[in-house]
Structure 1
């Protein structure tokens, strides 16, 4: 049974700061119902399904600036091998620890490209990958609500899955402390041990969904093409209170109120 809506936060803090590989009784009591209830949150992706994967850069002449590649005739997309995870250089990710490759894809091309965190003008290689076998994944994107006022077991379960989807979809940056990956990596390993083929979770930067497969050979590259990021768009949500400084408080309060900020 889920005990509280803060279960994941306690779990994540424990994994980051106390023990990376062995859980205490409290954290195990959170992980067990997550795995148990995952049976109600699965999606089967059929063999032949096309998914998308993107990587920054392309194959160009040595010394050519990325902004200049589209003025050359000799540029090509990354190789097929480059568009699959590198066996000896698997980077840290939300689902996989360093050195253990995982096949990250998306349900559409734009989401796949946005997940690489491009900048305006950057060049990307985009590939379509075809699934070679049927795969059942834990689907964190299935409907879940978050309500701190309700303490029924049904709502606590919904709260936990809502938070899990948020945790897996949290944007990843190369400068991020690797310990921040550890909680979702641990949960992903539990799903893998339970026999699932991967995880589906929401994208915070695209309209599609992300799909991470444990078996990097479950799909093969079917196409490769080049794209250039032309214009990036973001939306911003206000978080917390505004701190106004002394003599400007009343003036800025009135201005912000008039502008609906």
Structure 2
């Protein structure tokens, strides 16, 4: 089975954000069936003993002692307990609804730090994790920045599948902001839960802020903590483009 339309993701997204989220209509169910039938070509393997990274804003402090007198505080990175998500108080995320945590990590340190949007001069705790076993993920990072296709008539199945996956890749890579409505997460959360139900270990999606890949792992304990270090943000690079608002008027 393929997808009904090259625009199936857009239709699904609109439906679960604004119509029905917990009891899916037939078209939404068919869309998820299309993902199930076509996602095997998107399997990403993370070999055992790979290094993956997670960053958190802030640090702990320990006292600096001289002659049994505390003279100052020393900044130290957060311990493992702070570098893993809390199992009973997860916030909304790109791949998880509130209360059901994922372990969000990155393929490299710079991507992990960039994803938390630190400010200049801030300190960041960065933990290294490693997986004992092979991890099988579905890769949503193949086409995050391409021009999205548009068709006036339905194309053949191959082009239809390619178009839908390009739209899904874009959805997962879009930057998350504090002003986002929680309903904006619904389409990707539902897709991630489908991938989880199929027995995969997580999903991969392109970072919008750096060159690396983000990973959302469903099992919080599928990786081992290897240590953490503290970093200070010395510089932030911004890039701007003209927003062509007139085309919407």
TM-score range, shorter chain: 0.7 to 0.9
SS class of match (2:78): coil
Task: Report the Cα offset of residue 183 of structure 1.
Answer: 0.9
Contact 1:90-1:100 at 8 Å conserved across structures: yes
Moved more, 183-192 or 159-168: 159-168
Partner of 1:136: 136
Contact 1:147-1:155 at 8 Å conserved across structures: no
**Which is strand-richer, 1 or 2?**
2
The alpha-carbon distance between structure 1 residues 7 and 202, as it changes in their structure 2 partners (threshold 3 A), is: same
Partner of 2:184: 180
Contact 2:62-2:76 at 8 Å conserved across structures: no
What is the TM-score of this pair, normalised by structure 1?
0.84
Structure 2 unaligned segments of length 5 or more: list them. Answer: 64-71
What is the TM-score of this pair, normalised by structure 2?
0.87
Partner Cα separation in structure 1 for residue 30 and residue 241 of structure 2: 34
Partner of 1:55: 56
Partner Cα separation in structure 2 for residue 38 and residue 236 of structure 1: 35
Aligned-residue CA RMSD (Å): 2.0
SS class of match (1:60): strand
Determine if the alignment matches structure 1 residue 163 to structure 2 residue 167.
yes
Measured against aligned partners, the alpha-carbon deviations of 1:27-64 in whole angstroms (never above 9, x if no partner) come to: 112111112100111111111110011011111379xx
Partner Cα separation in structure 2 for residue 29 and residue 137 of structure 1: 22
Contact 2:141-2:173 at 8 Å conserved across structures: no
Measured against aligned partners, the alpha-carbon deviations of 1:211-239 in whole angstroms (never above 9, x if no partner) come to: 11100101121121111122211323444
Task: Report the Cα offset of residue 176 of structure 1.
Answer: 2.2
Partner Cα separation in structure 2 for residue 24 and residue 162 of structure 1: 23
Give 1:230's match in structure 2, choosing from 230, 234, 237: 234
Partner Cα separation in structure 1 for residue 38 and residue 242 of structure 2: 33
Partner of 2:69: none
The alpha-carbon distance between structure 1 residues 207 and 238, as it changes in their structure 2 partners (threshold 3 A), is: same
Partner Cα separation in structure 1 for residue 163 and residue 239 of structure 2: 25
SS class of match (2:165): helix
Partner of 2:124: 124
Determine if the alignment matches structure 1 residue 9 to structure 2 residue 13.
no
* Aligned length in residues: 234
